[in-house]
Amino acid sequence: MTVDRDNSASSEISRAKKDFYKQYSYLKPDCEKTDWEKFCEGLKKVGQWCKDHWKEIVLVIEIVVAVVCICVPGLQGIGTGILIGALKGALTGGLIGGITSMLTGGSFLEGFAQGALDGAIMGGALGGVGGIAGKFITCGSKLGNAIQTTSKISGAISNSMDGFDMVSLGLGMIDPNNPITELNNKMHQSDVYNKFQMGVSLVSSFSGAASQNMACFVAGTLVLTTAGLLAIEKINPGEGEGPDDPGHGPNRGFGNSAFPDTWSDDNAIKAVEDVANSPKSIWQQATGPGSGRNAPKTIGGPDPNAPLTTRNGRPVRFTVEGQNHSLDIRVIVEPGGEGIVTGFPINR
């Protein structure tokens, strides 16, 4: 009888304890927890830490992705876009956060740190997206020109606003009541102004990365001639293969492979650039393994399976053919080397 009562009491105590810990699990001592309960509790702590520090985690992921991209051929522009965007966003966000925190009686450094973190995340993300987008935009197209213009304007505005903030902070350390610092503080009291400044910085990050990653062979590209490496501006003025070779430029008298005499050098250079960058131009590998007449022809860019260097380590060349002002033009391009090598009319 006594044993039965003891067992019954023990069961009742165990049940009561179980119900109590079920309702107040945080009061259960570790010595009474099962291994599974300890494991689940550890997962909850990890989840809570991730929830509390998700911004730092996202930023670290962005940086890791950027570093990986920089190490992978062809993706360097995306990685650079992420890093530059993160830095630009961090600077702008930090300045906005620090100044607004200071104006509300808080700490400048704490506000700067929080604003820099938020800005770096947004700037890095948009920089990466811009870098990817740029690979699908043709330099010289309406969209390409618009993005390049946007990049210049937004970059100038963003740099000016950030610069004004830094000048204001510097002067404020000497004289907190100087008119420049007071004006800047007054502007930062407006959420509209702060959002505009951050927005311009983000637009600059996106458009800057996109413009840097467009497939462009523009003025300034080095061109291989008998006179050495020259800028593309020199592609048509007559640097041929010798004193009797006047080149392919207008009014050079180089037969059917010269540009029309009615064209200017600038017209010819622009035509060569447009054909090299056109999404409709036909590309074919001209040197290196797999080159020749049987090499695959691709539209708008080189064959992704083609090598970038020959067996001797020299850059592989491609012929790029297209039309400009009803004139058939062939451009010789080294995607992994000097860019545009030369360009001239065909079938005249």
Report which DSSP code applies to 77.
H
Task: Of 10-24, 41-55, 219-233, 288-302, give the lowest mean pLDDT range.
Answer: 219-233
Whether the pLDDT of residue 249 is over 50: the answer is: yes
Mean pLDDT lowest among 76-90, 171-185, 213-227, 320-334: 213-227
DSSP string across 113-165: HHHHHHHHHHHHHHHHHHHHHHTTSBTTSHHHHHHHHHHHHHHHHHHHHHHHH
Q: What is the spatial distance between Cα 101 and Cα 120, in angstroms, rounded to a whole number?
A: 18
Looking at residue 240, what is its pLDDT?
Answer: 43
114: tokens are 């929080």
Exposure of 68 in the CB half-sphere (CA atoms within 13 A):
7
More confident residue, 173 or 219: 173
Banded pLDDT at 247 (limits 50, 70, 90): low
For residue 94, pLDDT over 90 is answered with: yes
What's the rounded mean pLDDT across residues 183-203?
96
Split at pLDDT 50, 70, 90, the class of 347 is confident
DSSP H helices in 177-249: 179-188, 191-212
| Chain segment 53-85, per-residue pLDDT in tens | 899 999 999 999 999 988 887 788 899 999 999
The distance of Cα 155 from the centroid of its chain, to the nearest Å, equals: 14
Predicted local distance difference test score (pLDDT) of residue 228: 41
In what helix (H) or strand (E) does residue 318 lie, and over which residues does it extend? strand 318-324
Task: Give the burial string for 283-304 (b: 16+ CB within 10 Å, else e).
Answer: bbbbbbeebeeebeebeebbee
Do residues 158 and 146 lie in contact, with contact meaning Cβ atoms separated by under 8 Å? no
Least confident stretch, 11-15, 54-58, 309-313: 11-15
Looking up tokens 């009291």, which residue turns up? 189
Q: Which residue has the higher pLDDT, 52 or 135?
A: 52
Distance CA 338, CA 331 (A): 13
Which pLDDT score, from 0 to 100, does residue 163 have? 96
258-296: per-residue pLDDT in tens? 788 787 777 888 888 888 888 899 999 999 898 888 899
**Could you tell me the residue ranges of all domains in the chain?**
2-52, 54-212, 222-345
Q: How confident is the model at residue 225 (pLDDT cuts 50, 70, 90)?
A: very low
Distance separating alpha carbons of residues 273 and 324, to the nearest angstrom: 10
Q: Over the chain, what is the mean pLDDT?
A: 82
Query: Is pLDDT at 237 greater than 80 in this prediction?
Result: no
Helices vs. strands in the chain: H and E counts, helices first: 9, 7
How is residue 342 annotated by DSSP?
E
Out of 137-146, 174-183, 311-320, give the one with best mean pLDDT: 174-183
Neighbours of 110 (CB within 10 A): 13
